[in-house]
Structure 1
């Protein structure tokens, strides 16, 4: 796909269709069910009804990463306030951040966290849109739980609340380390997970630390290099073994979310029809002409226009089918983006 074709993935959405708050109950969000390759097939239901489209032996795989409170408000000695997203620790004590009004910060300036005032940072170099801070105090995930806030998406256009601390995490999340939630998994409830177990449907976990790049706009370099931002993932040996068994025995593997799919496709070897366990890194950029062979189903929310996630979904199913589904969802007033409604896409003979 040429770079200029990105306009095909643009769409207009009214402000009131952007879900800025979660549904009253996780599994009561709406669900649009699609056949993966056949002529446009759609059926509307609610997420809790997804069970009727699954069958014994199906294997669901979800990203169990937990969102860190990496959104930190910093103040200068003069009281000026800066909002910083702590993205990654480049080396001990050296942090890469996205900081608002960073042009007003000078090399060597000292800032402190607004919440406690106990954590001090000196301003280092600037790298493109990023600001590098050196932490004067050791900083870990527990520190962020004290001084930070849940980094809800910028398009919410509001402050995070105590409700976000709960609802912007999946019920099965485990290890902290992401700056955004794997949002397809937000629809699952403990009751729904228990029902999957009763029906002999596997629910497996891997971990991919979602980076801020998931919100960044695509540019020509992404297409020229066919690579995106780098993200770390970990596929447990137990998960790998069940996935390999599913592949060998013709069972459906269903990815819960695009971040999970990115990890699965990076870990899958089509030559051996097996997955590689352990830690890995991915810069995979999936586009409509690509073949996705690691799984047979996908659960996903409705994504931002012209985004890498929308292109990934269009690679999993047919581009025209996905664009038509989006038009249908807009017309039917589905809720979009992180707290929005979802799609279940399955191979046609299995729907």
Structure 2
């Protein structure tokens, strides 16, 4: 298959720029895979589409204020207390990396503009009083603005400084600066494990009331953690699906969730994933378990799911509407293709997307959602 096979026409005014006024009031389209039928509804009615005994799995990763603004130090090799006033540099932290020393604080990042920011350069990050709060050295330079940064040790905890000077990493198709509201709305109500550079957006719809309604109906809820990283910000540059390679992202499967999945599979109960990040985590764990029961562990996954993938765990998916020609719409098409040919699965999803455009659903991170069962 070609990447262009997953293109569709999307009016720009359907790209949601802000969350709905009240969390949980988004619209929801239901796609029945068995019949191919669509139904327009609202997210608060999610419990009516799930069955007693279903296992719903959520991604509890917490978005960090990962967008920072820097200036270049005066000398590429000498830190300076006086920022270079030649221009502001945008730095998006995408993933913390292991270091050689215990005190190392190394991150992969996207830097813009990046051409002049080369290894050996030092960047200063100021607080609201223009005092330097963080300093980082550029260690490596990659393609498309990718850089590796090592932050100098600080007296205050690093994440406390990020909370003070960082901005929420709204995706590039939201054409505004982040606001105070985004600190809570670009975050799930159950976010617990800090580390994501983007929200697991299917989870943004959930409220404590909906979660309680699901539990009251006898639906089991468990969590995995996948920290959304660089891959979510990089467009697909391949022509053929077979050539697509994703960046690795860190995940954790707890003993409680592993046991719940094993039990649900043994009892042939449905497992529903909230979001593509949850789906990728579960299917990666199934792949490496090689048919054995899942066990608690942490690791890295770069799994790419496209039509033709045989799902081992996920039987249903709650997801937002995704970018044309993105790996996420390919994943959604793969789930729709179960019991169909890959081409039929793709066409079923593209047909659902055409319906969403006609009915003026809101798209992407702050948009509406689709439930596939």
- TM-score, reference length from structure 1: 0.92
Where has structure 1 moved over 6 Å in runs of 4 or more? none
Unaligned runs of 5+ in 1: 347-351
Please tell me whether the aligned partners of residues 286 and 315 of structure 1 are also in contact (alpha carbons under 8 angstroms).
yes
Distance 1:274 1:106, change over 3 A: closer
Unaligned runs of 5+ in 2: 73-82, 337-344
What pairs with 1:19-58 in structure 2 (closer than 5 Å)?
19-38=16-35, 40-58=36-54
Distance 1:303 1:145, change over 3 A: same
Alignment partner of 2:352 out of 325, 329, 336 = 325
Match of 1:69 in 2: 65
Please tell me whether the aligned partners of residues 268 and 276 of structure 1 are also in contact (alpha carbons under 8 angstroms).
no
Separation in structure 2 between the aligned mates of residue 147 and residue 114 of structure 1, nearest angstrom: 8
Please tell me whether the aligned partners of residues 65 and 177 of structure 1 are also in contact (alpha carbons under 8 angstroms).
yes
Deviation string for 1:3-43 (max 9, x for gaps)? xx2112112211210001001122110000011243x2011
Please tell me whether the aligned partners of residues 267 and 277 of structure 1 are also in contact (alpha carbons under 8 angstroms).
no
Deviation string for 1:41-80 (max 9, x for gaps)? 0111100011111111011000000001111011232222
Match of 1:126 in 2: 141
Separation in structure 1 between the aligned mates of residue 167 and residue 277 of structure 2, nearest angstrom: 22
Please tell me whether the aligned partners of residues 118 and 141 of structure 2 are also in contact (alpha carbons under 8 angstroms).
no
Shift of 1:93: 3.3
SS at match of 1:274: coil
Distance 1:106 1:321, change over 3 A: closer
The count of aligned residue pairs is: 342
Please tell me whether the aligned partners of residues 236 and 244 of structure 2 are also in contact (alpha carbons under 8 angstroms).
no
Match of 2:126 in 1: 114
Separation in structure 1 between the aligned mates of residue 292 and residue 320 of structure 2, nearest angstrom: 28
Distance 1:89 1:255, change over 3 A: closer
Separation in structure 2 between the aligned mates of residue 56 and residue 49 of structure 1, nearest angstrom: 15
SS at match of 1:330: helix
Shift of 1:220: 2.9
What pairs with 1:226-265 in structure 2 (closer than 5 Å)?
227-265=245-283
Match of 2:75 in 1: none
Match of 1:176 in 2: 194
Deviation string for 1:202-228 (max 9, x for gaps)? 111010011121131223398445642
Separation in structure 2 between the aligned mates of residue 196 and residue 275 of structure 1, nearest angstrom: 25
Match of 2:8 in 1: 11
RMSD (Å) for aligned C-alpha atoms: 1.9
Distance 1:75 1:7, change over 3 A: same
SS at match of 2:132: coil
Match of 1:285 in 2: 304
Deviation string for 1:153-191 (max 9, x for gaps)? 011011000111000000000011000000001000001
SS at match of 2:163: helix
Deviation string for 1:213-270 (max 9, x for gaps)? 1131223398445642111111111111111111111111000000000000011258
- TM-score, reference length from structure 2: 0.87
